[in-house]
């Protein structure tokens, strides 16, 4: 695989460069923000190496390649059918390092977006169950927006949780972000309609049980009133099938994005992969620490592949230390 870096003022400009230079078959392996005023860097690859070049791993003939990726995905407790699919995709992305082939497979199988770097046309409504990290993720998005100098307004509809409004108010005050409160769908519409300039609008919601139809229907009224893009907040870890069922249940609210949280407290990430897959969601970012200023990280095929690798190494170290598996 031939890898190249592209730097431009914006992601669309960089993507245009990639398509012109490498064509429609290019695989986007990483996107990185270079800081305010410095633009973005995109790393892209193209599988144009000759099959007889033995500096490139040929997955079809390299049993170790398949074993490495299978071992990693099995450690994360991914379902067997998803492991087979990802390994099959990885075999079509030969590279000098097998984790790059895994990144190519993830790029084929999942969708990747980016943290907003400018005002967007529709509000982002963060949805999830109680305690999944919606309010802290709002605060982290606000911190990113503040760094990027994006005008931002937060609207909370979570007036029932004890201390909920006080918590988000404290975040907004500290970051000098506008805050409004909407206790009913019609009030939410009013809050949005009175915003006349282009802004990033973030809507903080009450945590709900996605298997409770009444709760989902009630939250759907707010989603419809705001014409918002729903973003599912879901903690990493846990049973992969439960995570998939939970994400699928939230599809009644038509979520587009997913932001997994609590990655710093999790070692197995099969749940976040099955959740994204079951609801066909696009990764926007990942919550990697409790810190507001830098607790939200971009996520792309390469960073996700690397995220999967340390657990394998830790597992091996644990096996050597204890003699167990």
| 3-state SS record for 230-265 | EEEEEECCCCHHHHHHHHHHHHHHCEEEEEEECHHH
Phi, psi dihedrals of residue 204, rounded to the nearest 5°: -90, 130
Measure Cα distances from 68 to 42, 57, 84, 124, 270 in Å.
27, 13, 13, 38, 16
pLDDT at 48 (0 to 100): 54
Both structure tokens of 290: 């409790």
pLDDT at 56 (0 to 100): 47
Q: Say yes or no: 104 and 60 in one domain.
A: yes
Q: Say yes or no: 179 and 277 in one domain.
A: yes
**Cα gap 132→22, rounded to integer Å:** 40
Q: Say yes or no: 149 and 284 in one domain.
A: yes
pLDDT at 164 (0 to 100): 67
Per-position b or e across 237-255, b if 16+ CB within 10 A of its CB? bbebeebbebbbbbbebeb
**Cα gap 261→289, rounded to integer Å:** 8
pLDDT at 163 (0 to 100): 65
Q: Say yes or no: 80 and 189 in one domain.
A: no
Both structure tokens of 75: 């450690």
Q: Say yes or no: 77 and 100 in one domain.
A: yes
CATH number of the domain to which 285 belongs: 3.40.50.300
Q: Say yes or no: 142 and 242 in one domain.
A: yes
pLDDT at 132 (0 to 100): 94
**Cα gap 136→171, rounded to integer Å:** 9
> How buried is 50 (Cβ within 10 angstroms: 0-12 exposed, 13-18 middle, 19+ buried)?
exposed
117 found inside a domain = no
Secondary structure tally for the chain: helices H, strands E: 11, 13
292 found inside a domain = yes
pLDDT at 165 (0 to 100): 81
pLDDT at 59 (0 to 100): 46
**Cα gap 124→203, rounded to integer Å:** 6
CB atoms within 10 A of CB 151: 15
Residue 21 belongs to domain spanning:
1-48
pLDDT at 204 (0 to 100): 95
pLDDT at 76 (0 to 100): 94
List per-block mean pLDDT (blocks of 10 residues) for the chain, which spans 325 residues: 70 80 74 70 64 44 75 93 91 73 90 91 95 93 91 89 76 90 95 93 95 96 96 94 96 96 92 95 94 89 86 48 49
The DSSP result for 34-55, as a single string, is --TTT-EEEEEEE----TT-TT
116 found inside a domain = no
Whether 269 and 74 have beta carbons less than 8 Å apart is answered as no
Measure Cα distances from 303 to 46, 54, 62 in Å.
18, 26, 24
Q: Say yes or no: 194 and 62 in one domain.
A: no
Q: Say yes or no: 285 and 145 in one domain.
A: yes
pLDDT at 79 (0 to 100): 94
- Number of domains observed in the structure of the chain: 3
Per-position b or e across 98-123, b if 16+ CB within 10 A of its CB? bbbbbbbbbbbbbebbbbbbeeeeeb
């Amino acid at each position: 695989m031939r890898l190249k870096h592209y730097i431009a003022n914006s992601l669309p400009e960089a993507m245009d460069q990639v398509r012109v230079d490498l064509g429609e078959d290019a695989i986007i392996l990483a996107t990185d923000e270079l800081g305010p005023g410095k633009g973005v860097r995109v790393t892209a690859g193209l599988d144009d190496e000759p099959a007889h070049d033995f500096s490139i791993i040929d997955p079809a003939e390299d049993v170790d390649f398949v074993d490495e990726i299978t071992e990693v995905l099995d450690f994360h407790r991914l379902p067997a059918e998803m492991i087979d699919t990802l390994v099959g995709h990885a075999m079509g992305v030969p590279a000098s390092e097998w984790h790059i082939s895994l990144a190519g497979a993830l790029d084929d199988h999942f969708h990747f977006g980016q943290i907003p770097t400018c005002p967007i046309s529709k509000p982002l409504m963060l949805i999830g169950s109680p305690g999944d990290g919606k309010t802290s993720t709002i605060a982290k998005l606000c911190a990113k927006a503040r760094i990027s100098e994006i005008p931002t307004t937060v609207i909370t509809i979570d007036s029932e949780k004890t201390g909920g409004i006080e918590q988000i108010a404290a975040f907004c005050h500290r970051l000098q972000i506008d805050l409004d409160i909407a206790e009913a769908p019609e009030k939410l519409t009013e809050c949005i309609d009175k915003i006349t300039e282009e802004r990033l609008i973030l809507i903080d919601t009450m945590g709900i049980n996605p298997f409770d139809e009444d709760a989902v229907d009630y939250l759907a009224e707010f989603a419809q009133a705001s014409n918002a893009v729903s973003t599912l907040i879901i903690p990493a870890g846990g049973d992969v099938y439960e995570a998939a069922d939970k994400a699928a249940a939230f599809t009644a609210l038509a979520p587009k994005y997913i932001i997994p949280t609590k990655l710093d407290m999790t070692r197995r990430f099969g749940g976040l992969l099955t959740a994204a897959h079951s609801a066909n969601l696009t990764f926007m970012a990942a919550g990697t620490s409790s810190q507001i200023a830098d607790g939200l990280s971009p996520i792309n095929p390469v960073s996700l592949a690397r995220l999967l690798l340390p657990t394998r190494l830790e597992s091996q170290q644990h096996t050597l230390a204890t003699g167990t598996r």
